[in-house]
Structure 1
Amino acid sequence: MPPAIEALDADVRDEVRRSGIDPLTQVETVRRFAQSVVRAHDDRSLSGAVRPLDDPERMVAELVARVAGFGPLQAYLDDPAVEEVWINQPDRVFVARDGSHELTTTILTAAEVRDLVERMLKTSGRRLDLSSPFVDAMLPSGHRLHVVLDGITRGFSAVNIRKFVVRANRLSELVELGTLTRQAAAFLDACVVAGLNIVVAGGTQAGKTTLLNTLGSAVPGRERIVSAEEVYELRFDHPDWVAMQTRQSGLEGTGEIKLRHLVKEALRMRPSRIVVGEVRAEECLDLLLALNSGLPGMATVHANSAREALVKLCTLPLLAGENIQKGVYLDYADGHGRTRHHLRPCLSRPQGRWHERHEAARTWPRLREAGESAGHRRDTRRQQVGLPRVPRARRVRGGPRPDRARTSGSAHSLGGLPVVP
């Protein structure tokens, strides 16, 4: 880096220290300091004491990024086309755009990477050290940070910044993007309004959180939402919403709050809906218990199909260490909801419901085919078997009845949605 930039950077940092401000939260004040320092440099250049700057405005922006932002990474974080930034080692910084990734020309030093990580964690209240070599945190801008300390990774710390890119806030916007058909969006909206349980399944970067956010926008304003996440990612535009996130243990090894604890506490907060950002471990048991008590909810899970999602809902409760008998967790998963395999690409629906004889699901859960019921032969006519029922207590006059939806046209579209008379 040119010596002039280092000198100007030091001058701006001196101004910040003298004023006692927090540069991460008072960016405009830092910008004024940078402008003042650059003007003073230009004045000195008139006498030939220093070399004039080629682009003073660009220098101001770079100084603000170094002092109040995240230095060389700030340009990528400000770029709306960039979805994720990660550092494998100081001279290998990657970015992802439009689903593909590329190696950038940015070259850092190990000291710069450590400084960036410390600044990113400053406002999160989370720590990274030998006793806790992994960290998940949320940046002030809403981006998600994940760091693995060197020693666990070979040679250098691994840093991932997943940007919070708002592409859609409502189901109608997903229709405009081509993610959903209009019929599918209407069906999902009706399912949310009717209080049905919804699990959003997909792989990494499949858009699960985006879909969950849009589903949350369909929750009626009279209801109360309580959400639990490992790191804040959900953004509900709702008047009565409480968001909670987990907390890692302190230096003494105490004070940790797991996602399972948050799910339990959410039940004591008079929720109308409970939302879990991502189910991946023992918290699945508490979520299923809550949903089977009649409390509507939504969650996401890593799975490649609706069938795999149901399998996960059966196996994850076993991680709770409880003495759960065979078949009990199958009942829980069955009661969670019966999505079917119609709404692609963002929603799939397994054909039918769990078989009543849980013995058939010892090694692999067996699903009944559409149109087949216990003790009856399969009907070859198209039927809407397995659609989740709307609880009688949640039926509102004039409200939607997605459990009575009709198929029309393609098998991947849904037709009319009847209402409660």
Structure 2
Amino acid sequence: MSLAAAPTSATAAVVERVRERLRVEQADVARDPDHAKRVAYSEVRKHNDYALARGLAPVDDEAGCVRDVLAQVTGYGPLQPYLDDPTVEEVWLNAPDRVFVSRGGAAERVPLVLTDAVVRDLVERMLHSSGRRVDLSQPFVDASLPDGSRLHVVIPDITRRHWAVNVRKFLPSFRDVERLVQSGSLAPEAATLLTNGMRGGRSILVSGATHAGKTTLLAALVSAAAPGQRIITVEETFELAIDAADVVAMQGRQPSLEGTGEVSLRRLVKEALRMRPDRLVVGEVRDAEALDLLLALNTGVPGAATIHANSAAEALAKLAALPLLAGRNIDAAFVLSAVARSVDLVAHCVRDDSGRRRVAEIVTPTGRLLGDAAEVRVLYRAGRR
């Protein structure tokens, strides 16, 4: 197994010299990664000159050593190769010696052994640019990495012993509808339905279980919105990467150490409505913000959002239930009627046993109620002719 926590002494020495030079020069490696690369090459060559003069073993693979140095100085050390691997969708650590990745929806353990100290250092580096923290008073954290990947961390004593770390990667190769069709995740007829709905200003709900591809589909659909639309996105943690000229992305904020300064998703939805949106996008609806989203849809603002559910019909039922969390004075009958009349399309995503993700069905509410549920009509179902 790879003892990544214990690099060679030559690499470790070069790492320390590179870090010291960058500190002295006050270099911002995030803005100028090429400068860090030049410094690393310079220090590796200096090491080899020194080694030859003193009769010590030189670094044979200078390029490989530079990559290792940069991973530790500017990247995320032993995890960097997996984060750079375009086939890896997610990386998670259950313990320093239990590291897993997901490829094509299937999990595999990788031969990597770290230490608790290395894991903590990696998390601190990942959180540095986000302004978020994790400690005993705040044992959970969600944050975005500079490339858009999502970081989630839980620490003891919430976990039994070790830090639990998940990095869900930003995969630009699936951020448009055409590529989802090419990958087999979205049938051409389903893609046409959803794309026409987005361009026609219809409100779309994307449902599914965890890791079913909801956020990926939502980002692709929003990217397919009509040109010139002003899009406002609100998320707990940045995940959506929307390529549009007129887009504002907002994320929530954790409370400070004093318990102040928190910005909830519900507050963001309210603020977004003051920003002249042509389309309001909520990364995931899971709490009382569902009421504010539903009110916006009911007043003519097109929306798009994801929601956890086992089917498209259950997604509508959940969207009707979540607003009741906003307070006791919420009229359940009004909410149910608003859901039936405000949501235009529901696309349900699934992941099968092999890890393959696809859109299984698309339904549209008819606007009528069947008892305590919105009546739906199936527009598309995978495998149905």
Contact preservation (8 Å) 2:213, 2:349: no
C-alpha separation in 2, matches of 1:324 and 1:51: 74
Q: Report the Cα offset of residue 303 of structure 1.
A: 1.2
Cα deviation per residue 1:54-104 (whole Å; 9 max; x = unaligned)?
Answer: 312111110010111110001110111111111111111111111111221
Aligned with 2:161: secondary structure? coil
Deviation at 1:341, TM superposition (A): 8.5
Instruction: Provide closer, same or farther for how the CA distance between residues 39 and 352 of structure 1 changes in structure 2, counting only shifts above 3 A.
Output: closer
**SS of residue paired to 2:90:** strand
Distance 1:195 1:330 in 2: 22
The aligned counterpart of 1:314 is 320
Q: Is the 8 A contact 2:176 2:223 kept in 1?
A: yes
Q: Counterpart of 2:144 in structure 1: which amino acid?
A: M
Give the alignment partner of residue 240 of structure 2, picking from 222, 234, 240.
Answer: 234
Structure 2 counterpart of 1:272? 278
Contact 1:247 1:255 in 2 (8 A): yes
Letter in 2 for 1:346: V
Q: Tell me by how many angstroms 1:342 deviates.
A: 10
Aligned partner of 2:106 in structure 1 is 100
**Post-superposition shift, 1:343?**
10
Residue 366 of structure 1: CA displacement? 6.7
Q: Deviations over 1:304-357 (max 9, x none)?
A: 210110111011111212411231211121122254789994152458646546
The answer on whether the counterparts of 1:342 and 1:412 sit within 8 Å (CA) in structure 2 is: no
Q: Unaligned regions of 5+ residues in structure 2, if any?
A: 1-5, 351-357
Q: Quick one: which of 318, 324, 340 aligns to 1:334?
A: 340
The alignment covers a number of residue pairs equal to 372
The 10-residue stretch of structure 1 (24-33 or 133-142) with the greater mean CA deviation from structure 2: 24-33
- Give the Å deviation of 1:182: 2.5
Aligned twin of 1:348: 361
The residue type equivalent to 2:177 in the other structure is L
Amino acid at match of 1:23: V
SS in 1 for 2:249: strand
Give the CA RMSD over aligned residues.
2.4
Partner of 1:57: 63
Structure 1 CA distance for aligned equivalents of residues 315 and 267 of structure 2: 23
Q: 2:284, 2:346 → 1: CA distance?
A: 21
Residue 402 of structure 1 aligns with which residue? Answer: none
CA–CA separation in structure 1 for the residues paired with 2:128 and 2:198: 38
Q: In the superposition, relative to structure 1, how do residues 306 and 356 fare at CA in structure 2: closer, same or farther (>3 Å)?
A: closer
Alignment of 1:171 with 2:177, yes or no, is: yes
Q: CA deviation at 1:169?
A: 3.3
SS of residue paired to 2:152: strand
Report what 2:3 is aligned to.
none
Equivalence map 1:127-206=2 (5 Å)? 127-206=133-212
> Aligned partner of 1:179: which letter?
S
Which whole-Å CA distance do the structure 2 matches of 1:161 and 1:191 have between them? 32
Describe the superposition over 1:370-401 as per-residue Cα deviations: whole angstroms up to 9, x where unpaired.
6xxxxxxxxxxxxxxx88xxxxxxxxxxxxxx
Q: Which stretch of structure 1 is more off in the superposition, 274-283 or 19-28?
A: 19-28
2:353 alignment partner in structure 1: none
Larger radius of gyration: 1
2:207, 2:348 within 8 Å by CA — same for their partners in 1?
no
Q: 1:20 to 1:309 in 2, by over 3 A?
A: same
How far apart are 1:411 and its partner, in Å? 8.3
**Structure with higher strand content:** 2
User: 1:80 and 2:86 equivalent?
Assistant: yes
Q: 1:282 to 1:202 in 2, by over 3 A?
A: same
Name the % identity.
49
SS in structure 1 opposite 2:172? coil
Paired residue for 1:38?
Answer: 44
Taking the aligned partners of 1:22 and 1:342, their CA distance within structure 2 comes to 43
Can you list the C-alpha shifts for 1:91-143, whole angstroms capped at 9, x where unaligned?
11111111111221111111111111111111001111111111111111211
TM-score (norm 1): 0.83
Alignment correspondent of 1:212: 218
1:248-327 equivalences under 5 Å are 248-327=254-333
Q: In structure 1, how many angstroms separate the alpha carbons of the residues matched to 2:178 and 2:329?
A: 44
Q: TM-score, normalised by structure 2?
A: 0.90
